[in-house]
Structure 1
Amino acid sequence: MSGAIPSRALRALSAAGALALLAACSNLPPSFPIIGARAEKPKAAELQPNPNLIAVRQAWTGRIGAVDFPLVVTVAGNAVALGSSDGTVAGFDAATGREQWRGSAGAPLAAGVGFDGSTAAVVTRNNDLVAFASGREVWRQKLPALTYTAPLVAGARVFVLGGDRTVTAFDGGTGRRLWSQTRTGDPLVLRQAGVMLAVGDTLVVGLAGRLVGMNPLSGTVRWEAPIATARGINDIERLVDLVGRVSRVGDSVCARAFQAAIGCVDTARGQVTWTQRASGDEGVHGDGSNVFGTESDGRVVSWRRDNGQRAWTNERLLHRGAGTPLLLGRSVIVGDDFGFVHLLNREDGTLLNRLATDGSAIAAAPVAAGNSLVVVTRNGGVFAFVPQ
């Protein structure tokens, strides 16, 4: 079984600590904690005065249980699906905050939430894939390995990317296993959400440092496009995984390879458009002009989508745990480990506004649902903001 390492733990490892852990990590169960060498934590950057250049109001708040797993908040229409560590899965109306449905997987969650507007799917730490309709469990299937990536619910199917790099398809209505494709895995994987999305009639999955296009009906591989390749002399140094979220514009999908690179792929041809070295561990977002991401030290970076050249860098959030960004209108939205949501100007990265939540870390990439910006915190707060 592959060992799984929390991405933030890897960030803290010294070279000596990494070498000392090498022999033990490759055969550890996924739940084994990774402890790096002790080092003084860098001081978080002081917040600059809030210019309040964009008027934003808090529209509503909600509650879900505490979140300590790689939560993905999924939007379908005006509905937002999310979950908590205790196994709770819930849907909210993005406009009003009204809870539309709520259910329980019966065990702590390891990954989720996949949602297409009718079916929601999560994976528990007991390796159960559980599907819900309006909060009611409709089926569950036992998986052979732990999963850290939210299931993809699309085309009346549920797709799962396992921690052992196995991709499996299930019938969305009955849970019947349709097909499974296994790739020889590296000894280590990240305990972090990976990449899986539908692009036209192709299932696009992140496997190691590659985007792989698969036939969703059979699992056969149509193309592979490398964003990063494994390098180094040991398993930790050679660890290369693609991390969610991605930026998709038509056939162009841009993604990040953990601590190695970002790059864009033309999925119609299955070819890499460009790659650039980058040292982040969070996903990206963007539009037809730019791709936005955060580096491990908190820098927020804009890359030109056509060629990968840097457009700007913001260094005002250093060591604040800046997370996966969301491009929304004129703002690049970034949450941090202190419960703040920063709205940066997409043109130059300068601060437009700052929003407060409950003081706990932002637990998932912010999402746009209807006219609302929705964020979830580690303490289980759900906050919706609307520009005025």
Structure 2
Amino acid sequence: MKKLLKRGLALTFITLGLLGCSSEEDTIVMSPLPVVKSQFTPKTIWTASIDDGVGHYFSKLAPTYAYDKVFVASRDGDVKALDPKTGKTLWEKDLGKDEPARLSGGVTALYDKIFIGSENGQVYALSVDDGSLVWQKDIEGEVLAKPLADQNFVMLNTAKGSLIALDQDTGEQEWDISNEVPNLTLRGDSSPASVSGGVFWGMSNGRLAAALIQKGQLLWQQPIGTPKGSTEIDRLVDVDASPLIIGANLYTVGINGQLVAVDLRSGTPMWKRTYSSATDLATDGSKLFVVTDKDHLIGVDVRSGTKLWENNDLQYRQLSDPTVIGDYLVVGDNEGYLHWIDRDTGAFVAQQLIGDDDDGIAVAPIALDDGFVVITREGEIKKMQIPDGS
């Protein structure tokens, strides 16, 4: 089924409320659903729900699996811990009693707490045991990216262009690294990543940055994209992808920029390839997987950046971040389908509809010890398993 899409830019909303224009609606058409002969059909183990999910708002409100619980949240403020074996609700917390909490970005679990931010500029820490509120902190700027917890800090990349570190015990602010935000940016931010005492994140000015976690000291910045063109839209260079760390190297990609491999310590580029994307990367250790701004799937060699394969059959289907589940690469789309891809060839292996038609998938499934969990935009949650031998 062909379907006209309202699109801003790179399949997301941009900060000035541009929700697309008539010319884009006339020319950008979602590819029809590919015809796939599925080699397997994942089995549903249990089904649950989380309020109304994120609906059709921009929100990458991804669940997480930790402490033998699956933590999920809705945009309006409902947070739950689910038993991964049965789907039973272990505890539930409503953070939106007085007004919608506008939770966004995703759930992070560490230090016996879960951390989650909101578009209202609030950060919450809840106990993983019973969901009780440990602390709540107001900060400047929307929190659209998943928090990072490390070195006894909770770090948040805000829409105002600041990386802020809070004490994980109290929520008190420890340091703030600010950068200038262009007049026009994509609706989204890079979730920070960390290793060996360093934190790494993408900026809306087209740069990748590194800092020391304990001191909040900026170490280096590396340009991923350079503004070009005559209009502000043409000159967008946001780096919204979360940096991906493999060994001593870091990988990221930007809009109107490049897919880049850099040395962690120095920030020196190892190789660069011209791809434009606002989604996170995935890897199986030897390959990187990219979803471009046109929703083309690309497989790239980690060592050289050489393109190994490309799949264009999901163009403009508003794909989720890619993820690796078992032996396969998986993406969800805006009509609620999961697409299973052969990691070596880029060919389709299986396809399935999750929930009702048009109940889209905004975030990638998460892997469990004995299956995976997928959540739809409307808040339907399913634990599924790939059949043995598939």
TM-score by length of 2: 0.86
2:228 corresponds in structure 1 to 231
2:211 corresponds in structure 1 to 214
Correspondent of 1:111 among 105, 112, 121:
105
Distance of aligned partners of 1:265 and 1:103 in 2 relative to their CA distance in 1, 3 Å threshold: farther
Instruction: Give the aligned CA root-mean-square deviation in angstroms.
Output: 2.4
Alpha-carbon distance, 1:216 to partner: 0.8
1:89 corresponds in structure 2 to 79
Correspondent of 2:37 among 44, 51, 58:
51
Correspondent of 1:139 among 135, 139, 162:
135
Correspondent of 2:69 among 79, 84, 103:
79
The answer as to whether partners of 2:63 and 2:72 remain within 8 angstroms in 1 is yes
Distance of aligned partners of 1:155 and 1:47 in 2 relative to their CA distance in 1, 3 Å threshold: same
2:155 corresponds in structure 1 to 159
SS of the equivalent of 1:40 reads helix
Alpha-carbon distance, 1:326 to partner: 0.6
Deviations 1:166-207 (A, max 9, x none): 111111111111111212222233222413011221111112
Q: What aligned pairs does 1:244-323 form with structure 2 within 5 A after superposition?
A: 244-323=241-320
| Paired letter, 1:257 | G
Percent pairwise identity: 25
Matched, 1:98 2:88: yes
The answer as to whether partners of 2:145 and 2:190 remain within 8 angstroms in 1 is yes
1:345 corresponds in structure 2 to 342
The answer as to whether partners of 1:12 and 1:37 remain within 8 angstroms in 2 is no
SS of the equivalent of 2:234 reads coil
| Paired letter, 2:176 | S
The answer as to whether partners of 2:193 and 2:244 remain within 8 angstroms in 1 is no
Alpha-carbon distance, 1:317 to partner: 1.7
Deviating above 6 A after TM superposition, structure 1's stretches of 4 or more consecutive aligned residues are none
SS of the equivalent of 1:274 reads strand
The answer as to whether partners of 2:104 and 2:119 remain within 8 angstroms in 1 is yes
Distance 1:376 1:8 in 2: 22
Correspondent of 1:172 among 168, 171, 187:
168
Distance 1:40 1:122 in 2: 38
Distance 1:268 1:79 in 2: 35
Distance 2:18 2:146 in 1: 21
Distance 2:278 2:144 in 1: 15
Alpha-carbon distance, 1:103 to partner: 1.6
2:378 corresponds in structure 1 to 379
Alpha-carbon distance, 1:147 to partner: 2.2
Distance of aligned partners of 1:256 and 1:78 in 2 relative to their CA distance in 1, 3 Å threshold: farther
Distance 2:18 2:349 in 1: 39
The answer as to whether partners of 1:202 and 1:215 remain within 8 angstroms in 2 is yes
The answer as to whether partners of 1:246 and 1:285 remain within 8 angstroms in 2 is no
Distance 2:136 2:38 in 1: 47
Distance of aligned partners of 1:12 and 1:144 in 2 relative to their CA distance in 1, 3 Å threshold: closer
| Paired letter, 1:47 | L
SS of the equivalent of 1:9 reads coil
| Paired letter, 1:323 | S
Deviations 1:62-113 (A, max 9, x none): 2113213222333335433232110122233334323333223222224332
The answer as to whether partners of 1:57 and 1:387 remain within 8 angstroms in 2 is yes
Alpha-carbon distance, 1:10 to partner: 2.0
The answer as to whether partners of 1:10 and 1:36 remain within 8 angstroms in 2 is no
How many equivalent pairs are there? 367
The answer as to whether partners of 2:225 and 2:256 remain within 8 angstroms in 1 is no
1:326 corresponds in structure 2 to 323
In structure 1, stretches of 5+ residues that fail to align are 1-6, 14-24
Alpha-carbon distance, 1:156 to partner: 2.4
Distance 1:324 1:381 in 2: 18
The answer as to whether partners of 2:193 and 2:242 remain within 8 angstroms in 1 is no
Distance of aligned partners of 1:41 and 1:367 in 2 relative to their CA distance in 1, 3 Å threshold: farther
Matched, 1:195 2:191: yes
SS of the equivalent of 2:107 reads strand
2:114 corresponds in structure 1 to 120
| Paired letter, 1:80 | V
Distance 1:188 1:79 in 2: 39
